[in-house]
Structure 1
Amino acid sequence: MSVWLNDAELDHLRRQAVAAGLGMDPFLRSLILGVELRPRPPDTYAALLRELSAIGNNINQIAHTVNAQKYAADSQVDRAVALVQRAWRLVKDSF
């Protein structure tokens, strides 16, 4: 099957395929099959998820300690706040 596209249409198609992380043929097949295509996540996405998971683990450890002691020391609260701020910076810097 042949499809004729003008230069602007072909350029747009190429950009969309690249954004989805697919070649042109798989991109077109996916569109034809009605697959909801989304832009490929940035390369740093997996690293960001690992880092956020580690931060969440640290916050859970802090919460467990606080629950066991029935109080939170200022240093524990400061550490939790720092972890949340770090997570926010990671997300903000990744996008």
Structure 2
Amino acid sequence: MKQTLVVLALLMGAAVCGSAHAGRPRLSDQALMAKEENLNDQCRGGLGTSRATMAACDRRDAVLGVLEKRNICWGPRDVIEAEMHWVRCKPLKP
């Protein structure tokens, strides 16, 4: 029963969030990258059991999904983390 309520709440939240964002202008790539970095700081710096921390992690993951759809990834994958930055996931076809 508890799982059913959680799933229902998530679905209702997704429906509300989807309609709330429909009228907003599309964020620039740079704004999304900054948003992901801010949410990542909240996610990694928060308490693992905190709802706020978990929400920041979920929002970060959603922003990462949008960035990937725009062909923007954190990489390149063949360097150490300290050298990574935002790059194109795949070369754009001419």
Shared fold by TM > 0.5? no
**Given the two structures, how large is their TM-score scaled by the length of structure 2?**
0.34
Q: Which one has the bigger strand percentage?
A: 2
> What is the TM-score with the length of structure 1 in the denominator?
0.34
Higher helix share: 1
